[in-house]
A = this chain, B = another copy of it.
Amino acid sequence: MSRLQLPHDAKAGPTKPEVRAVTLDKLGLRPTDHFVDVGSCTGSVTIEAAQRVRRVTAVERKPNRLDVTKKNLAANEYDADVTLREAEAPEGLPEDADAMFIGGSRNFEAVLDHAVETDVDRIVMNVSRVEPTGAAIEAFRERDLLDEVVQMQVSHGYELAGATSFRSNNPVYIIVGRRDAGGLD
């Protein structure tokens, strides 16, 4: 029921709608924000952010994925000024971002270093594998960015013999950072 249109798909698939909704909530986007999407893939987060902030930069190392981002963007309405960059982050990252989404664990330490150097206010990272989750929590903590970690497990109902059974998505970790965070409780 979200109004997001994603006619084009990338091989890796988009962030699942429920995880994306929580991710965007944790990013606390404001109309004045410059938001940066690190690894834009299908563009689903880029598009939803472009409907909420003044400016978005999407950085994606794979040209075919950047193309999917571009096409999906074109299928949606938004007011933001959007820049698409084919680059492997931290290359291509802007110097004045307010909020950052990191969709995978590639180069995440260098990306976090860039975020700290350029005073990014809010950072959310999604990870599904357990080893990089531990490493990412540690990297957020070491940089005084660690604010919250959430594990989400979502199951979808389907009809089976006249009643409702559930199919489960894989669990995902959402790591939430902000500048000068105090760590987990």
Q: Are A155 and B171 in contact (CB under 8 A)?
A: yes
**What interface size band does chain A fall in?**
35 or more
Binds B, one of A60-68, A84-92, A112-120, A142-150: A142-150
Q: Are A152 and B151 in contact (CB under 8 A)?
A: no
Contacts of A147 in B (CB 8 A): 1
Contacts of A183 in B (CB 8 A): 159
Contacts of A8 in B (CB 8 A): none
**CB within 8 Å of B: which of A80-130?**
122, 128-130
Residues of A within 8 A of B (CB): 1-3, 17-18, 20-22, 24-28, 30, 122, 128-135, 137-138, 147-161, 163-171, 173, 176, 178, 183-185
| 16 A-B residue pairs with CB within 8 Å | A1-B27, A1-B176, A3-B28, A18-B150, A18-B152, A20-B25, A21-B21, A130-B130, A130-B149, A132-B134, A137-B157, A148-B157, A149-B156, A149-B157, A159-B184, A168-B171
